[in-house]
Amino acid sequence: MKHPHQYPKRILLAVSGMSPQIVTETLYALAITQQEQPTEIHLISTNTGKQKAEEQLLHDENGQFHHLCRDYHLEGIRFNADSIHVIPDKKGILLDDIKTPEENEAAADFITQKVNEFTRDEDSVLYVSIAGGRKTMGYYLGYALSLYGRVQDSLSHVLVTERYESLANFFYPTPYSHLIKDRDNQELDAQSAQIMLANIPFVRLRAGIPHFLLEGKASFSDSIRFARTVESDPLLEINGKSLFANGVAVSLTEINVAFYVWMIQQTVFKKGQVKRLTSANTDYSNSYLSVYSRITNEMKTKNKTTSALVDGITAEWISDRRSDVNKAFKKALGTNAAQAFLVQSMGEKNHHRHYSLTLTEQQIVGFPSALTKL
């Protein structure tokens, strides 16, 4: 495994409200204290938060980001006005603040989508700070990283020496004496401040996330529904040629739908096994084609499917169908939630192996009653 500093793209991502100091404080802790300099910085904020960040961090003369980079010779960090992402509402209007439930929902969706977007590049590492912005923004950011974060990504909160914390005129410890005022109007030297980065462990769920969430615009509500799907008891619905696992459609060809329904027939309702074959089996092909004809409403006349099985079902055919079916369930539900629906290989290795499902009759609805009598 590569160390974070070995990745060509190293992104510092933070949320911010009216205190953009979180950017310079976290950058100082990463680049100076931990020797892990980001290559770019991205900030999620509101309209007013962006204006504050541009004034205090990016101003040509007084921008504290520029001062920090000059003071500590930090070169090549990309951070500009385009790197500050303002949260829009459902109508696309940029938010000035986050107060109402609707505004919080918009913030949750936007933050989740941004984390999803930033974690798609395999050659990147994400440093996520939850120190800034409203508390709900930090929660959403941490939750999103738990869903989409990879092994190289990290979550942190910046800790500042107490007397310097939340001061409007403190941005980072300077390498030279720089006097500022505290809340009691007493002088402090910015050079004497200490900043530490508290790393926060988090559970990584990315490996079990469905492809539609990883590849699309993942909303917070979609993510919550996914989490509930993982927690739910398995329920499979058969509706004609369509299969739904915990309410999620599973995309399968007719041949594979029929195979899965045949597996249900053989191993769940008839409580048998589908043995691992050493030669072609015509009993299996006959029973499978009976299921196939009912599922597709096609008679067992000669077609591509029946022709392929004229000499019986083979071990390779079952292996291919099993692979296709299991991939489809994993794509629809994610690796973890799909486990209850997969066609499992059971028994001792290379001895008495067979295929089966762990679903029960009570966990399957819509199964054609006629198939239990075949």
Is residue 237 domain-shared with residue 358, that is, in the same domain? yes
Residue 231 pLDDT > 70, yes or no? no
Tens digits of residue pLDDT in 174-195: 999 999 998 888 999 999 999 9
Is residue 335 domain-shared with residue 188, that is, in the same domain? no
What would the mean pLDDT of 49-60 be, rounded to a whole number?
A: 95
Q: Which residues of 3-24 are buried (b: 16+ CB within 10 A; e: fewer)?
A: ebeebeebbbbbbbbbbbbbbb
* Rounded percentage of the chain residues whose pLDDT exceeds 90: 62
What would the mean pLDDT of 345-363 be, rounded to a whole number?
A: 82
Is residue 204 domain-shared with residue 236, that is, in the same domain? no
Please give the pLDDT value at position 211. Answer: 73
Is residue 257 domain-shared with residue 365, that is, in the same domain? yes
Is 227 inside a domain boundary?
no
Q: Where in the sequence is the domain holding 337, given as residue range(s)?
A: 232-373
Tell me the pLDDT of the chain averaged across its residues: 89
Please give the pLDDT value at position 130. Answer: 93
Is 292 inside a domain boundary?
yes
What would the mean pLDDT of 47-66 be, rounded to a whole number?
A: 95
Is 218 inside a domain boundary?
no
Please give the pLDDT value at position 372. Answer: 75
Please give the pLDDT value at position 351. Answer: 60
Interatomic CA distance for residues 361 and 236, integer angstroms: 10
| Residue 232: pLDDT band with limits 50, 70, 90 | confident
Q: Which of 79-88, 220-229, 344-353 has the highest mean pLDDT?
A: 79-88
Is residue 259 domain-shared with residue 361, that is, in the same domain? yes
Q: Are 254 and 296 in contact (CB under 8 A)?
A: yes
End residue of a domain, out of 178, 209, 240: 209
Residue 66 pLDDT > 90, yes or no? yes
| Residue 283: pLDDT band with limits 50, 70, 90 | very high
| Residue 71: pLDDT band with limits 50, 70, 90 | very high
Q: What is the CA radius of gyration of the chain?
A: 28
* Rounded percentage of the chain residues whose pLDDT exceeds 70: 94
Is 86 inside a domain boundary?
yes
Interatomic CA distance for residues 268 and 238, integer angstroms: 14
Is residue 299 domain-shared with residue 169, that is, in the same domain? no
Tens digits of residue pLDDT in 259-273: 999 999 999 999 888
Is residue 174 domain-shared with residue 312, that is, in the same domain? no
Is 38 inside a domain boundary?
yes
Is residue 259 domain-shared with residue 138, that is, in the same domain? no
Is 225 inside a domain boundary?
no
Interatomic CA distance for residues 13 and 224, integer angstroms: 22
Is residue 288 domain-shared with residue 329, that is, in the same domain? yes
3-class secondary-structure state, position 243? strand
3-class secondary-structure state, position 8? coil
Is 214 inside a domain boundary?
no
- Helix 64-71 to helix 47-57 angle (10° resolution) is 40
Q: Where are the beta strands (DSSP E) in the chain?
A: 9-15, 40-45, 84-86, 124-129, 154-160, 179-181, 187-189, 195-199, 236-239, 242-245, 248-250, 274-275, 344-348, 351-356, 364-365
Is 217 inside a domain boundary?
no
Is residue 200 domain-shared with residue 277, that is, in the same domain? no
Is residue 246 domain-shared with residue 100, that is, in the same domain? no
Kindly report the pTM of this predicted structure: 0.74
End residue of a domain, out of 153, 178, 209: 209
What would the mean pLDDT of 107-132 be, rounded to a whole number?
A: 93
Is residue 48 domain-shared with residue 181, that is, in the same domain? yes
Question: Residue 80 sits in a domain of what CATH number?
Answer: 3.40.50.10770
> What is the number of domains present in the chain?
2
Please give the pLDDT value at position 175. Answer: 96
- The answer for residues whose C-beta is within 8 angstroms of residue 270's C-beta and 6 or more apart is 372
List, in sequence order, every residue forming a beta bridge with 180; answer none if it has no partner: 188
Tens digits of residue pLDDT in 300-351: 555 677 788 888 999 999 999 999 999 999 988 888 888 999 999 887 665 6
